[in-house]
């Protein structure tokens, strides 16, 4: 009888491939498209933004009086939020490993930071409480969301009147970039005329240059794009700014304890358990200043628009009704209601309506000649109504 493989298994050596099969680490798409400001020197950076534009008037006759005008500025703040992670590793594992574990972990942690930045800034996922509303929410408040019917014509939804590019242009901006999920590539390649001729791609052999009306397209592959929220985001990305307070910092710890953040229970004692921990920290802030322009003097527009999925994300109406403090209260029109960076103005009935996803928000209600009111708004499973009374300044 020959010696079987099972009988000689202890003598058979396994070959170990000296490379790990993996894709290359991905970086933040937003940080590659937005405008980078100088590094922050403190937790919060103030940016003056044009809030009111001056006007010019015709003068009637040789002796006519010249009218006056004014200009005003507002403040937009960048607040640094911290991203951090600790990766504990037993020293025995490091000693016995055939690969440089720390060298493999570090780029993946950096990739995770980029993914978290994109998710928070673009979609509002795990958005730090100090940050303004995400790009999707800002576009929604400006009415720059385009719904999709049962049999959508993607050419019209993107390029046509009232399409996503048109929404950006109507607010006075030019689209400089497009972000979309991978599935949009096939939708674009499949666009055809009424005669069956392809619109987006003319052949099947050459590589496709993905761009819309001159704006390059990007397809994030770092896991940040949420297809359940939108199919495509179009906008003037240079209008969004960010600044770094602390660049990605890596530190190797060999002493100390690691606690469970929820139970406060000690999970690891590095010195006692012969472990090390890779600690990575990154701090940054971002803003969408949205200054006053001749097209959008009230600053209620948005340089971004998005294409909704077939089933739009559920939002709740948050209605502000603003009156004065007179004995017989009267509605006040033209009141600025600012909700974490998104601005609306009340109509003649003193009403402004936001459409927000579940979460906690801070609203500032202000108008020249009245005291500013700050309100906390909690959105959950139902619409929210806020009755606001503004007190006139003496």
**Structural domain contains residue 15:** no
Q: How many helices (DSSP H) and strands (DSSP E) are in the chain?
A: 7, 21
pLDDT single digits (tens) 28-64: 999 999 999 999 999 999 999 999 888 998 998 888 8
Q: Domain ends where: 264, 289, 313? A: 313
* All residues at 6 or more sequence positions from 4 whose CB lies less than 8 Å from its CB, including other chains: none
Q: Domain ends where: 313, 329, 359? A: 313
pLDDT, averaged in runs of 10, over the chain (394 residues): 59 48 64 94 93 89 86 92 92 82 85 94 94 96 93 90 95 96 91 81 75 92 93 96 91 90 90 90 94 92 96 94 92 95 95 95 94 95 94 85
Measured between alpha carbons, how far is residue 41 from residues 38, 79, 123, 286, 302 in Å?
Answer: 9, 11, 27, 14, 28
- Looking at the DSSP bridge assignments, the partners of residue 183 are none
**Structural domain contains residue 115:** yes
- 287 shares its domain with 333: no
Q: Which strand ranges, in their side-by-side order, compose the sheet holding 177-180?
A: 145-146, 304-307, 232-235, 177-180, 215-218, 211-212
> Which tokens is 118 given?
């994109």
In angstroms, the CA 183 to CA 169 distance is 25
**Structural domain contains residue 106:** yes
**Structural domain contains residue 3:** no
Name residue, tokens 């069956």. 196
In angstroms, the CA 72 to CA 139 distance is 25
Judged by DSSP in three states, 18 sits in: coil
- 325 shares its domain with 287: no
């Amino acid at each position: 009888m020959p010696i079987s493989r099972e009988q000689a298994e202890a003598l058979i050596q396994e070959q170990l491939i000296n490379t790990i099969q993996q894709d290359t680490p991905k970086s933040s798409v937003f940080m590659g498209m937005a405008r980078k400001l100088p590094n922050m020197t403190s937790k919060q950076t103030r940016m003056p933004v044009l809030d009111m534009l001056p006007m010019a008037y015709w003068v009637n006759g040789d002796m006519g009086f010249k009218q006056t005008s004014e200009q005003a500025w507002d403040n937009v703040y960048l607040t640094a939020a911290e991203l951090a992670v600790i990766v504990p590793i037993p020293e025995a594992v490091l000693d016995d490993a055939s690969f440089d574990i720390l060298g493999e972990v570090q780029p993946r942690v950096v990739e995770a930071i980029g993914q978290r930045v994109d998710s928070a800034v673009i979609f509002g996922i795990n958005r730090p409480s100090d940050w303004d509303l995400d790009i999707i929410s800002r576009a929604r408040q400006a009415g720059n969301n385009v719904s999709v019917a049962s049999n959508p014509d993607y050419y019209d939804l993107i390029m046509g009147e009232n399409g996503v590019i048109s929404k950006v242009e109507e607010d006075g901006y030019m689209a400089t970039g497009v972000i979309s999920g991978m599935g949009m590539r096939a939708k674009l390649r499949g666009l055809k005329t009424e005669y069956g001729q392809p619109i987006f791609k003319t052949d099947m052999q050459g590589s496709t240059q993905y761009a819309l009306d001159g704006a390059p397209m990007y397809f994030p592959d770092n896991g940040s794009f949420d297809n359940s929220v939108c199919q495509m985001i179009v906008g003037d990305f240079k209008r969004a700014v960010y600044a770094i307070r602390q660049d990605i910092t890596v530190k190797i710890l060999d002493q100390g304890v690691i606690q469970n953040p929820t139970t406060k229970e000690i999970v690891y004692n590095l010195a006692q358990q012969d472990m090390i921990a890779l600690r990575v920290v990154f701090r940054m802030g971002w803003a969408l200043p949205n200054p006053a322009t001749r097209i959008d003097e009230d600053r209620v527009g948005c340089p971004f628009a998005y294409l909704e999925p077939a089933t739009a994300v559920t939002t709740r109406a948050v209605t502000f009704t603003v009156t004065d403090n007179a004995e017989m209260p009267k509605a006040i029109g033209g009141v600025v209601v600012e909700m974490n960076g998104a601005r609306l103005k009340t109509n003649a009935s003193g009403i402004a309506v936001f459409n927000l996803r579940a979460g906690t928000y801070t609203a500032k209600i202000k108008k020249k000649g009245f005291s500013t009111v700050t309100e906390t708004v909690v959105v959950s499973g139902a619409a929210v109504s806020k009755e606001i009374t503004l007190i006139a300044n003496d």
